[in-house]
Amino acid sequence: MPPSSIQANQSSTRSQPRQIAIYGKGGIGKSTTTSNLSAALSDLGYKVMQFGCDPKADSTNTLRDGSYIPTVLDLLREKKKVDAHEAIFQGYNGIYCVEAGGPAPGVGCAGRGIITAVQLLKQQNIFEELELDYVIYDVLGDVVCGGFAVPIREGIAQHVFTVTSADFMAIYAANNLFKGIQRYSNAGGALLGGVIANSMSHPYQREIVDDFVAHTHTQVMQYVPRSITVTQSELSGKTTIEASPQSEQAEIYRELARRVDAHTESATPEPLEPGELKDWASKWADTLVAIESGEVRDEKAGI
Ligand SMILES: Nc1ncnc2c1ncn2[C@@H]1O[C@H](COP(=O)(O)OP(=O)(O)OP(=O)(O)O)[C@@H](O)[C@H]1O
Ligand SMILES: [Mg+2]
C-alpha cells in the first residue's frame, strides 16, 4: 500500500520555524541523530518537519516504521505540477517527513534538487500552513560539492550542527564544513551551533573531539555513546526515542533536543588550515601511542 500523504488544511499562519541543518561525513550518524532529535523535539510538544536532503532518501524511515516515502524530485519527474502535500508524510508523533530525493545516479547536481524541493514547499506556504516550530535538514556530505552547501548558502537554515566521531576523517569533514560556513558567513549564510560527538565509546575519543572544538572555537552540544540500543531500534525500523524511551540513550537524545532548543547564538567557526590540522593529528597520534603504552594516563572517566 502506498504511504498516505497529508491533506491540505486551512490553518492560520504564524512566525517562521527555526531551521536547522545537520551535516557530517557519510555514515557518521546524521540520519540517526536527526531522527532522534526530531522525535525528542516533537515529544517536547513542538511541530517538527524532518527534511532529508540525501538522494538516497533514507533520512526519515525510522520515523515511519522503516518505510520509505516518494521524494519531491520523484514526484516532479512524474508530473509537472506537484501539490507539496503529496510529498509530506507523517511519522512518529505526527512529525512531517519529506525527502528531497535527487537526480538519477550519476546525473545532475543533488544541490539543485535540494533547492527545488525547498522552493516547492516555500512557494506553497507549507511551513506557515503547518505552523511548524522546527524544520530539520539532514544533509549529505562533506561540502566537497557546492550543492551540499545549499542549505548554508541560500539562507535556508539558520543554525548548523555537525555530527562527528573522533575518527580523523570525520574531523577532517567537520573542518571542511567549517570552511564552507566561514566562506558564506559574511553573506548571511547559516552559522555553526556546535558539534554533536557521536559514537563515543572510549574516554580518549571525547578528549579528541573536545580538543578539536577548542582549536576551532566551537562547542560540543552532546556526547552520544555508541550504543546497541541504537542498533536494535534501527533494526525494528524506529528511533531510539520511540523504540526504547526509557533507555539511557533516549535520555541522551532528549538532552540534546533540550540543548538545541535552548540554543540561540550560532557563530562562525575557525577551521584549521591544512598544515595545522596535520600537526594537530600528529600530536594526537603520539598521545594515543603514549596512552596505549601506559606512559600517559587516559584522564577522563568513562562516558
Ligand atoms: N550512537 C550510535 N550507536 C550505534 N549505532 C549508531 C550510532 N549512530 C549511528 N549508528 C549507526 O551507524 C549507521 C549509520 O548511521 P546513519 O545512517 O545515521 O549515518 P548517516 O551519516 O546518515 O549516513 P549517510 O551519510 O549514508 O546518510 C546506522 O546503522 C546507525 O544505526
Ligand atoms: Mg543519512
Number of H helices, E strands in the chain: 11, 8
Q: Does residue 283 sit within a domain? A: no
- Confidence band, pLDDT 50/70/90 cuts, at residue 302: very low
Whole-number pLDDT of residue 143: 59
Tell me the residue type at 1.
Answer: M
- Confidence band, pLDDT 50/70/90 cuts, at residue 238: very high
Most ligand 1 atoms within 8 A of CB, residue of 28, 32, 222, 234 to mutate: 32
Q: Please work out whether the CB of residue 28 comes within 6 Å of at least one atom of ligand 1.
A: yes
Q: Does residue 260 sit within a domain? A: yes
For residue 227, give the ligand 1 atom closest to its CA.
3
Q: Does residue 250 sit within a domain? A: yes
- Confidence band, pLDDT 50/70/90 cuts, at residue 146: low
Whole-number pLDDT of residue 228: 98
Of 146-150, 188-192, 243-247, where does the model show the most confidence?
Answer: 243-247
User: How many Å apart are CA 95 and CA 133, to the nearest integer?
Assistant: 11
Nearest CA to ligand 1 atom 3: 226
- Confidence band, pLDDT 50/70/90 cuts, at residue 111: confident
Nearest-10 crossing angle of helices 248-262, 228-235:
90
Tell me, rounded to whole angstroms, the distance of Cα 179 from its chain centroid: 18
Note the pLDDT tens digit of each residue in 152-195: 887 789 999 999 999 999 999 999 999 999 998 888 889 999 99
Instruction: Extract the C-alpha cell encoding 165.
Output: 566521531
125 secondary structure, DSSP code: T
Beta pairing, strands 191-200 & 220-225:
parallel
Q: Does residue 10 sit within a domain? A: no
Q: Is 147:109 a contact under the CB 8 Å cutoff?
A: yes
- Confidence band, pLDDT 50/70/90 cuts, at residue 141: low
Report residues near ion ligand 2: CB below 5 Å. Answer: 30-31
Q: Please work out whether the CB of residue 53 comes within 6 Å of at least one atom of ligand 1.
A: no
Q: Does residue 164 sit within a domain? A: yes
Centre a 10 Å sphere on the Cβ of residue 225 and count the other Cβ atoms it contains.
18
Centre a 10 Å sphere on the Cβ of residue 145 and count the other Cβ atoms it contains.
13
User: How many Å apart are CA 45 and CA 133, to the nearest integer?
Assistant: 9
Which residues are catalytic, by number? 25, 30, 56, 142
Whole-number pLDDT of residue 291: 84
Q: Name the residue with higher pLDDT: 225 or 186.
A: 225
In which domain, by residue range, is 124 found? 18-272
Question: Of 107, 128, 102, which is closest to residue 49 (Cα–Cα)?
Answer: 128
Q: Angle at Cα 31 formed by Cα 25 and Cα 37, nearest 5°?
A: 120
Q: Please work out whether the CB of residue 24 comes within 6 Å of at least one atom of ligand 1.
A: yes
Residues 6 or more apart whose Cβ sits within 8 Å of residue 189: 152, 153, 155, 181, 183
Residue 245 has pLDDT above 50, yes or no: yes
Q: Is 198:34 a contact under the CB 8 Å cutoff?
A: no
Q: Does residue 196 sit within a domain? A: yes
Terminal C-alpha separation, the chain: 44
Cα 45 to averaged position of ligand 1 atoms, centre (Å): 26
Q: Is 249:229 a contact under the CB 8 Å cutoff?
A: yes
What percent of the residues of the chain are helix, what percent strand, and what percent coil, each to the nearest 5? Answer: 45, 15, 40
223 secondary structure, DSSP code: E
What is the value of pTM for the model shown? 0.93
In CATH, what number is assigned to the domain containing residue 243? 3.40.50.300
Total domain count, the chain = 1
- 163 sits in which H/E element: strand 159-164
Whole-number pLDDT of residue 115: 85
Whole-number pLDDT of residue 139: 92
DSSP per residue, 173-204 = HHHHHHHHHHHHHTTT--EEEEEEEEEE-SHH
Whole-number pLDDT of residue 142: 62
Whole-number pLDDT of residue 144: 58
Centre a 10 Å sphere on the Cβ of residue 72 and count the other Cβ atoms it contains.
29
User: How many Å apart are CA 298 and CA 288, to the nearest integer?
Assistant: 9
Q: Please work out whether the CB of residue 231 comes within 6 Å of at least one atom of ligand 1.
A: yes
Q: Please work out whether the CB of residue 26 comes within 6 Å of at least one atom of ligand 1.
A: yes
102 secondary structure, DSSP code: -
Q: Is 134:18 a contact under the CB 8 Å cutoff?
A: yes
Cα 134 to averaged position of ligand 1 atoms, centre (Å): 22
Span of 64-78, 98-112, 117-131, 258-272 with lowest mean pLDDT? 98-112
142 secondary structure, DSSP code: -
Residue 108 has pLDDT above 90, yes or no: no
Q: Does residue 293 sit within a domain? A: no
Average pLDDT, the chain: 90
Note the pLDDT tens digit of each residue in 7-35: 544 343 447 899 999 999 999 999 999 99
Q: Does residue 290 sit within a domain? A: no
Instruction: Extract the C-alpha cell encoding 232.
Output: 536494535
